[in-house]
Chains A and B, each alone.
Chain A
Amino acid sequence: MSLRSLAISVLARPCSWFRAVLQRNRLEAEMEAELAHHVESLTADLIRAGQLPAQAARNARISLGAAMVHKEEMRASLGLRWWDELWADLRYGVRILRKSPGFTFIAATSLALAIGANTTIFSVAKQLLYERLDVPNAANLRLLAWTGTRDHVAVHHVWGDWDRLPGGRVTSTAFSYPAFQQLRAQNQVLDDLFAFKRMTMIATIREDGQTVRAEMVSGNYFGALGVLPQLGRVIEPVDDAVPGQGAVAVIGDGMWERVFARSPAVLGQTLKLNDIPFTIVGVAPKGFSGARDVQIADDLFIPLSMQPLVFPRSGSASLFVDSTRWWVNVMGRARAAGNDTTARAALDSQLAAIVRSTMPVRKGEDLPRIDLRDGSRGIFEEQKQYARPMAVLTTLVGLVLLLACANIANLMLARGAQREREMSVRLALGAGRVRILRQMLVESLLLAALGGAGGVVIGYFGRNAIPKMTENAWERTDFHIHFDWKVFTFTAGITILTGLLFGLAPAWAATRAELNHGPNEMSLAATRRRKGAGGKLLVGIQIALSTLLVIGAGLFLRTLVSLSSVEIGFKPDHLLLGEIDPPRNRYPAGKDIALNQRLEQAFAAVPGVESVSPAMDAYVSGNLDATDFLSEGEKLGALKHQEEDYNLVGNQFFSTLKIPILAGRAFGPQDTANSPRVAVINESLARTRFHGQNPIGKRFVTDPHDADGSGVLLGRNSIEIVGICGDTRYVDMRSEPPPQFFLPYVQQPSVSGMIYEIRTAMEAEAIVPGLREVVRQVDPDLALLHIRTQNQQVTADLQQESTFVTLTSGFGLLALLLASVGIYGIMAYSVAIRRNEIGIRLALGAQPGQVRSMILRESTALAGVGIVAGLTAALALTRLVKSMLYGIQPYDPVTLTVGVFTLLAVALAASWIPARRAAAVQPMDALRHD
């Protein structure tokens, strides 16, 4: 056979099949015409041979045979048979589903809810955890990180991410600029290394100030990422060459759209970042979110060389030469022929040498070790934040789907018992088992498709519900989940899977229908034993799954309750927060202190303000500042934990937040820039660092800089402790109140932007205009940013937990609903099928009450088995979420007890109607029934 004819014969069948399917009417007409032509020709020949026309026609038809049979075989020749049968199955399936709309509605709705919930969770998980940076070959990006021993690593000042690892180690992706430059110069294992650092800045565009996310990038950033501008040019190495020069900016697509309405005239325009003018030279391509983050895009990019101007650091070495401050993120690309292990080893020995030669390494300190991470998702903060919750949600939502499947399988099994007659007839008439199996599967897939269609709709509209639940009122988020073909494929796949899952059992049961007993009698005993057992098993599984889901939801609910009721340490009610971020070039060290003093006084004078105090950090806002705390005579030792959390506050801070002073005094008007330096420490600090001695009157010193390098400058003179205050939560609601000390901001050389905490009985809306006006009067270029109440701040901190509670409770409720439908179904079926038996019992003198409790006892026993199974599973599984719980143990007795009783109550309630129906059976009717 030649190649060409081989190709023809391979392609011929599918082509001919599609032609036949697509032009079915034409095909049928042609078959008809062809056979008619045959009969006509044959008739004509017979007449020519001397037969009478009528007889000839008859003989011609006889010799051809039954046209219908031929046509069927002709169709079979074209491979149309399974297609036709499938159509028949589909039509039949639709008819069956339409005949019982109640069943169809319940089944399709519960499936739609389950598939929709799965689609939603999958969309969110996929985007949060699996999406990669939109740059060419994202897969070979590598993010440099390091690990070290906690408290012993030579790196002391990290400005960036810093996470604990198991085994007393810590990890960070921040490097010092000198380390980056030397690594880059020595690097031979990765393609060019590039650096970036995201900062929040105030951008002033046409007199309008707004907070933006700006990425300071090394000159080779865009080149190494392979990102080309959609307009203008990107940042080039020459822009980044000289510190303090290169005032150019590349804006992101989002900002171009939002602020410049995609006008090409944006090139050459000027914008101010922290009051420094920049010229816009280009627009980054759509979809490019920066190397740092996939979800949250950078608004604009500027050269790293501009850092000293945009973030001036008063009185200390430039970040470009300071090897002790670790702050920039570094990435590179893996070489095609390279290997991560050798690359890591090479970079590791280089970094060790760099650290040894450029920064002090005290005795007992260890060197940071390089860790080469996958950089295709940027720094990938989402992983530590969402990986576990998403895993839990995916599991729970998967269980809900399983439950819905069990439910429908159960409903179909019960219905299958009614259709046993039909199946027996079909088997008796010669239908093959495979054919019946297929028809049952087509029916369940049809039902699954209904559910899947509903699921797509729910998934489409529900996909942004979860991001919405996690955003807060005062910050702009442009996080949207998109709906794409992968999500659609997932939903389609899950639909087919569910169809098979809940369709197989009934289909199997259907083909097991015996030929002989179906048509002539209902054979109650036989069917009850078999089907009843299958159904009860399914209901047992449902109850077990619901128990698991209800207990899970209960644990998260109790966690949220314990978190919301923790002793926060101050009075969050009637407390308003607003931030001021003065540009540092106009408010250098000293002037910024004066500005805050002026603002503090002006705010205090606004009608309705009871008291006011600025603070460096608002509590429960996710922010934290810490610095060395050395009591008099104490030296910095390598092996000791000497860093403590602190806050810079105004003199009214304690009275404004209503933090109790336990000993000594709070700050007051006597504490000024010129008075002796003072501090208040909290109870925990007094306990952990002064060991029962009275700390009041004791002195300590701090490191002039706080650990995050934000530009705050503390005094160098020693500080006297004048008071002890109560403990408060600091970074979030979950962490225990840390040891903490407080310094008056007026006694420090420099502070960065402050958050004003304003106690007022008035509504936020009523008082905010007055506050804004005050800021305008002090400096028209300043704005009060991120205004929220302290309670909103607390709610925001608990948002992930409350989202979790909303979702898991939703799943739990859905599970209960499905389980109760299941219990009701199986008990109603059991009662219907046992009418006879119940009738006899009643006729023999059983009381209706006895019959009722017999049915209730049965359902309780069934529920009991399911609950025990669910409880066992829950005890095994909840240990895995221990780290997500707060204030309770995974085996929390309250949750377990409530869960068990809820399930029992639901089981009893669901079987109440069937039990009453059983008690109301009239013996004579029941006995006459069969």
Chain B
Amino acid sequence: MAQEKPDKQLGLLQGTLDLLILKAVSLGPLHGYGVLLRIQQISSDELVIQQGSLYPALYRLEHQGAIVSEWGESDNNRRAKYYKLTRAGRDRLGSETKKWNRMAGVIGAILSATTEEA
């Protein structure tokens, strides 16, 4: 895709973001802000997620049937929309995780090989 540079980064982030959201929600139902917090918490604040792209990603995943939402009470007694993984979402999380691990392994191997030969 011949797009501008920022879009390229966004595109890269998008696939990853979906995976991270699925993982975060797989640990228990969360509202949007909760997803953000959990990812930051797990990654020990190393990964900062663009807050703006979080909600479109959540809506996209729900549209695709990977997660479902339900309104409920939040910790501060406010109404909040909670997302929960569906069966299809769990299948997808499994297959995408496998794919990600393979990809990471392959890229890691390539990168280390390059260093050795250089």
Interface residues of A (CB under 8 A from B): 1-2, 4-6, 8-9, 11-13, 16-17, 30-31, 33-35, 37-38, 40-42, 44, 63-66, 69-70, 73-74, 76-79
Contacts and interface: CB of A to CB of B under 8 A. Distances in A.
Nearest to B48: A63
Nearest to B62: A16
Contact of A5 (B52, B62, B78, B91): B91
A40 B78 CA distance: 10
A64 B56 contact: no
Given A8-B87, A38-B33, A40-B78, A74 B65 contact: no
Nearest to A76: B56
B101 interface: no
Contacts of A31: 55
B91 A41 contact: no
A73 B63 contact: no
Nearest to A40: B78
Given A2-B87, A37-B74, A37-B80, A78 B52 contact: no
Given A1-B95, A33-B79, 4 more contacts: A6-B88, A8-B87, A12-B88, A76-B56
Contacts, number: 91
Contacts of B88: 1, 5-6, 8-9, 12
B65 A9 contact: yes
B51 A16 contact: no
Contacts of B57: 77
A13 B65 contact: yes
A4 B74 CA distance: 32
Given A30-B81, A37-B79, A41-B33, A12 B55 contact: no
Nearest to B87: A5
22 contacts: A1-B88, A1-B91, A2-B87, A5-B91, A13-B65, A30-B71, A33-B79, A34-B81, A37-B31, A38-B32, A38-B33, A64-B51, A65-B50, A70-B52, A70-B56, A73-B52, A73-B55, A73-B56, A76-B56, A77-B57, A78-B63, A79-B63
Contacts of B59: 74, 77-78
Contact of B60 (A1, A44, A63, A77): A77
Interface of B: 31-33, 36, 50-53, 55-57, 59-60, 62-66, 71, 74, 76, 78-81, 86-88, 91-92, 95
Nearest to B71: A30
| Interface residue SS majority, chain A | helix
- Give the top 8 A-B pairs by smallest Cβ distance, nearest first: A12-B65, A5-B88, A73-B56, A77-B59, A77-B60, A65-B52, A41-B33, A74-B59
A38 B55 CA distance: 10
A41 B62 CA distance: 22
A558 B18 CA distance: 77
B64 A9 contact: yes
Nearest to A38: B33
Contact of A38 (B51, B56, B71): B51
A64 B64 CA distance: 24
Contacts of B65: 8-9, 11-13, 16
Nearest to A6: B88
Contacts of A74: 55-56, 59
Contacts of A5: 86-88, 91
A106 to B, nearest CB: 45
B56 A41 contact: no
Contacts of A44: 76
A37 B56 contact: no
A37 B62 CA distance: 19
A299 B112 CA distance: 95
- Which among A16, A33, A37, A42 has the highest number of chain B CB atoms within 10 Å? A37
A12 B63 contact: yes
A481 B62 CA distance: 51
A827 to B, nearest CB: 49
Contact of A77 (B56, B71, B78, B81): B56
B87 A4 contact: yes
Contacts of A40: 76, 78
A352 to B, nearest CB: 71
Contacts of B36: 38
A41 B76 contact: yes
A74 B59 CA distance: 6
Nearest to B59: A77
A34 B53 CA distance: 14
Nearest to B88: A5
B63 A77 contact: yes
Contact of A69 (B52, B76, B81, B87): B52
B61 to A, nearest CB: 8
B10 to A, nearest CB: 11
B1 to A, nearest CB: 17
Contacts of A37: 31-33, 74, 78-81
Nearest to A62: B51
Contacts of B91: 1-2, 5
A34 B55 contact: yes
Contacts of B55: 31, 34-35, 38, 70, 73-74
A9 B66 CA distance: 8
A37 B60 CA distance: 19
A11 B87 CA distance: 14
Contacts of A8: 65, 86-88
A41 B74 contact: yes
A632 to B, nearest CB: 98
Nearest to B65: A12
Given A2-B87, A41-B74, A13 B79 contact: no
A12 B64 contact: yes
Given A38-B32, A41-B74, A13 B56 contact: no
Contacts of B62: 16
A8 B79 CA distance: 28
A13 B81 contact: no
B15 to A, nearest CB: 14
Contacts of A77: 56-57, 59-60, 63
A880 B18 CA distance: 68
Contacts of A76: 56
Given A8-B88, A41-B74, A69-B52, A16 B79 contact: no
